Structure 1
Amino acid sequence: MLICATCAVEYGEPVPELCPICTDERQYVPEDGQKWLTRDGLEGTGQQITLTENEPGLIGIRTEPKVGIGQTAQLVVTPQGSLLWDPVGYVDDTAVEAVLDRGPVLAIAASHPHMFGVQVEWSRRLGNVPVLVAEADRGWLGRTNPIISTWSGSLSITDGLDLHQTGGHFPGSAVAHWAAGASGKGVLLTGDSVFPNPDRRSIAFMRSYPNHLPLSGAVALRIAAQLGELEFDRIYGNFNNAIDSDAQRVLRLSAQRHAAWARGDFDHLT
């Protein structure tokens, strides 16, 4: 198993010459070319995983230093078990022990292929828990395994914890809805299906973030309308970037703003 140094997605044999995820228009291969990592090689350089409680029942998991894109995974802890969301590109025994100390893991899922990380390796070390991949994005898998199962539409992980396919960034892009989060007001984990901006009061809707390729206004409005049917007050993106409160209103207004700029409503400002 090799890991793409740029996106940290795992690949089984035969390993491609170039990472397909990074050659796609949504990502990139660095100027100095394709590089591959191994888990043992990362461990030998002192790679570590840190866990931080974002709020009761929600643990952010990061690699130090970052591996690949460097996302923050989220561990949603419920009385029935946990969901590991957007798994990072490195795993070791210490991290596995810390995760399992919070209860059994019910499933692993990613918001979209850029966030697959080393999901099969995480599963293997956590006891071969199911890895859930949107059917629309199964073609992006770099490493296959019988523990992977596909889904579409919506899927319940356990009471009050569900996956919802939004499309947009990828056809299978998804969010996790945790009803008990934000003190019972509800939390969305969105990866970058919808992306909390640095101003912490608006959201972006993009096909490619590094290459600055936007989604259409119609798609942004469609995603906001779909997610508007859920109850939530807070959103976490894939770098622990968050809309701390009133996130449902922020999502709706951000989609309207995105659509207005795409239509040319504000061309007079340019």
Structure 2
Amino acid sequence: MKNFICITCGVQVESSMAAPEKCSICSEERQYVSSTGQTWTTLEEMIQSEIYKNMISLEEEGLFSIATSPSFGIGQTAYLVQGKTFNLLWDCITYINSETIAEIKEQGGIDAIALSHPHYYSTQVEWAEAFDALLYIHEDDKEWVTRPSDKIIFWSGESLEVAEEMILHRIGGHFKGATVLEWKEGEAQQGVLLTGDIVRVVADRQWVSFMYSYANFIPLPASTVQGIASRLEEVNFTRLYDAFHRIIENDAKERVQKSAERYVDALNGVHFRTEAL
């Protein structure tokens, strides 16, 4: 029995004798099945290949980024958020080995893991078991869990304080249970928001965007984006980190609000006109 991992999205599934016919994450319209077909690997095969290495980097006091080189799956970054007595892993990456575990334990380990949405579930159970950590997933995304575990806590409602100064906010959008993390102690107590790609920083690091499907370029409705902006208006933060190590260093809250306004105006035909005359 093996816990197979989809090579396209990097999500691990429940153990089986043979690889599944399809990945339930990739076969849904927010993701995609590779043009070369569905392919699988295992964590054991990844480790034995000696191809991959996790890079753990200090971003600011109390915050480390964790990314795999070369990139695997979707290629997202996870973040280790350090509180006074509690460490939280925000989102997951697929690759985990003994070196990664040892290095993180030197930083105090992981007490809990929180996920923004299903595309980053990756090998979350492997991480939870390695650190004896609880996994927090919003109950609205329960159906997308591909490897069940008694480590998983399906939380409900709009907000959850996982630990002092670390608050999860369900804001919807990309998925119904899409969640962001408010870290009140970050950026010298001015507040940091970690968003996965529920809110995605764009190329110039001055604006953000919101999508139903990034892979297939399907936008969100204007009303949904307005709802996200309204929820984030209630959260205090000055810096924002997304899933691909893009950072808005300053005035992030204001930039999110302006970006939402621009997005809605674009959908409503107010921001620009490009139709043929």
- Give TM-score, length-normalised by structure 1: 0.97
Q: Is contact 1:166–1:172 with CA below 8 Å preserved after alignment?
A: yes
Deviation at 1:220, TM superposition (A): 0.9
Counterpart for residue 86 of structure 1: 91
Counterpart for residue 131 of structure 1: 135
Distance in 2 of aligned mates of 1:27 and 1:222: 23
Counterpart for residue 8 of structure 2: 6
Which residue identity lines up with residue 11 of structure 1 in the other structure? Answer: V
- Give TM-score, length-normalised by structure 2: 0.94
Aligned residues: 269
Q: Kindly report which structure 2 residues correspond to 1:65-80, keeping only aligned pairs within 5 A, or say none.
A: 65-80=70-85
Q: Is contact 2:262–2:271 with CA below 8 Å preserved after alignment?
A: no
Output one character per residue of 1:230-264: Cα deviation in whole Å (capped at 9) or x when no partner.
Answer: 11001100011111110010000000000001011
Q: Is contact 1:50–1:62 with CA below 8 Å preserved after alignment?
A: yes
Q: Kindly report which structure 2 residues correspond to 1:62-211, keeping only aligned pairs within 5 A, or say none.
A: 62-126=67-131, 128-152=132-156, 153-211=158-216
Moved over 4 A (4+): none
Q: Is contact 1:106–1:157 with CA below 8 Å preserved after alignment?
A: no
Identify the match of residue 22 of structure 1 among 26, 30, 43. Answer: 26
Distance in 2 of aligned mates of 1:54 and 1:43: 26
Q: Is contact 1:133–1:149 with CA below 8 Å preserved after alignment?
A: yes
Distance in 2 of aligned mates of 1:169 and 1:252: 17
Identity %: 38
Question: Counterpart of 1:122 in 2: which secondary structure?
Answer: helix
Provide the aligned C-alpha RMSD in A: 1.1
Distance in 2 of aligned mates of 1:85 and 1:36: 25
Identify the match of residue 63 of structure 2 among 58, 61, 65. Answer: 58
Q: Is contact 1:167–1:173 with CA below 8 Å preserved after alignment?
A: yes
Which residue identity lines up with residue 191 of structure 1 in the other structure? Answer: G
Question: Counterpart of 1:235 in 2: which secondary structure?
Answer: strand
Q: Kindly report which structure 2 residues correspond to 1:229-268, keeping only aligned pairs within 5 A, or say none.
A: 229-268=234-273
Deviation at 1:160, TM superposition (A): 0.5
Question: Counterpart of 2:187 in 1: which secondary structure?
Answer: helix
Distance in 1 of aligned mates of 2:109 and 2:91: 17
Distance in 1 of aligned mates of 2:122 and 2:91: 7
Greater shift in the superposed pair: 98-107 or 253-262: 98-107
Which residue identity lines up with residue 30 of structure 2 in the other structure? Answer: R
Deviation at 1:269, TM superposition (A): 4.1
Output one character per residue of 1:94-148: Cα deviation in whole Å (capped at 9) or x when no partner.
Answer: 111111211142211111000111000001111x210111100010011001111
Identify the match of residue 214 of structure 1 among 219, 233, 239. Answer: 219
Deviation at 1:27, TM superposition (A): 0.5
**Is there any run of 5+ residues in structure 1 with no aligned partner, and where?**
none
Counterpart for residue 42 of structure 1: 46
Question: Counterpart of 1:20 in 2: which secondary structure?
Answer: coil
Question: Counterpart of 2:111 in 1: which secondary structure?
Answer: strand
Question: Counterpart of 1:21 in 2: which secondary structure?
Answer: coil
Question: Counterpart of 1:227 in 2: which secondary structure?
Answer: helix
Deviation at 1:86, TM superposition (A): 1.1
